[in-house]
Amino acid sequence: MLQRIHTNFPQNAVRVLNQPNMYVALWLHKDKPVMGQAWNDSGVVQGRGQPMGCAQITGISKEEIANTKVCNKCAFAADHKVYKGKDIEGGTIQLLIYKGNHVTNNFFYEWLPLPKWKVERNGKREQVLYGMVAPIFWKEKAVLGNYSIAEHKATFAIADKYHEVNDTTTLNKMLVLIRNTNGGAAGCSCEKCAVSIGANGEHASIKTLMVNDWGDFCCGNPWPADKPIMRALNRPMNTPRGPQDHYVALWYRHGKPLMGRAWNDGGKINASFVECVYTLSPAL
């Protein structure tokens, strides 16, 4: 899937573990890939990233990459300095996309600690690589960066500063992105995983799993009837137009999260948010 940035934020972009507004991004700087992070700001793509050392892409198909036009707030670390917005030549970055589930794609993404990946690597798991570098997540700093396998070094853009980490103790606390072809993720709610049948023909017990998951949508998009959306108070709300179902919504305005409500408006998504004394109904 291909899409330009500075248009609406693409659906199905791959998020970082437990980060509702951090996505895996790639920037080609002087024909060399630069790995970093992007985020949804007022419905468009923002990004910041770290340098990568090789232009060869492996482990990711073209269908999993979306081209996006860069916004002014983008920031990438390359050549030991930080680039922002209009400083990014070409004005485009790429986002990692994952449509469907492990049944339709025959794999799912997971984040593993770097030392665990080194020990448990097998034919069922494939590290997401660009040449000899890979995405790496530094949990303590909540930042996504680039890991050079050859140099055993991770680089990050934190605020306006370039950061480099090469000590094993710190690196071993970081997570790398893996493609797993061995079934589905823990707690997967797809039809295939909803009920597992034991050898004796009885249904195995399944523990309820609460997942803090957010989908990316735009106002005016078709209402996502195929997705389990959280309804406010689990009942219709009293509105001037009569009882109406409202749903929990999240919008990033200038990089800051706003909680609000969304509703089905004639089969289309509509939403409303409040900031201070202003009511905002954005074209997300």
Per-residue pLDDT reduced to its tens digit, 207-238 = 444 455 777 788 888 998 877 788 888 888 88
Cα angle value 75/95/262 (rounded, 5°): 95
Please report the pLDDT score of residue 64 as a whole number.
61
Whether residue 117 is predicted with pLDDT greater than 70 in this model: the reply is yes
Q: Which two tokens stand for residue 66?
A: 């979306």
103 φ, ψ to 5°? -75, -45
79: left (phi over 0), alpha (psi -120 to 50) or beta: left
Confidence of residue 22 (pLDDT cuts 50, 70, 90): confident
The arithmetic mean of pLDDT across residues 152-164, rounded, is 90
Mean per-residue pLDDT over the chain, rounded:
77
Residue 250: pLDDT over 50 = yes
Picking from 52-61, 106-115, 166-175, which range would have the lowest pLDDT averaged per residue? 52-61
Angle value at C-alpha 144, between 148 and 112, nearest 5 degrees? 75
**pLDDT of 277 above 60:** no
Please state the pTM of the whole predicted model. Answer: 0.69
Residue 6 binned pLDDT confidence (cut-offs 50, 70, 90): low
- pLDDT at position 92: 78
Name the β-bridge partners of 12: none
pLDDT of 66 above 70: no
Position 56 scores a pLDDT of: 33
Quote the Cα angle for 67-272-209, to 5°. Answer: 70
pLDDT for position 48:
55
Q: How confident is the model at residue 69 (pLDDT cuts 50, 70, 90)?
A: low
Contact at 8 Å (CB) between 39 and 16? no
pLDDT range class, residue 242, cuts 50, 70, 90: confident
Among 44-53, 105-114, 177-186, the range with the most confident prediction by mean pLDDT is 105-114
Answer with the residue of higher pLDDT: 277 or 121: 121
Other beta carbons less than 10 A from residue 273's beta carbon: 20
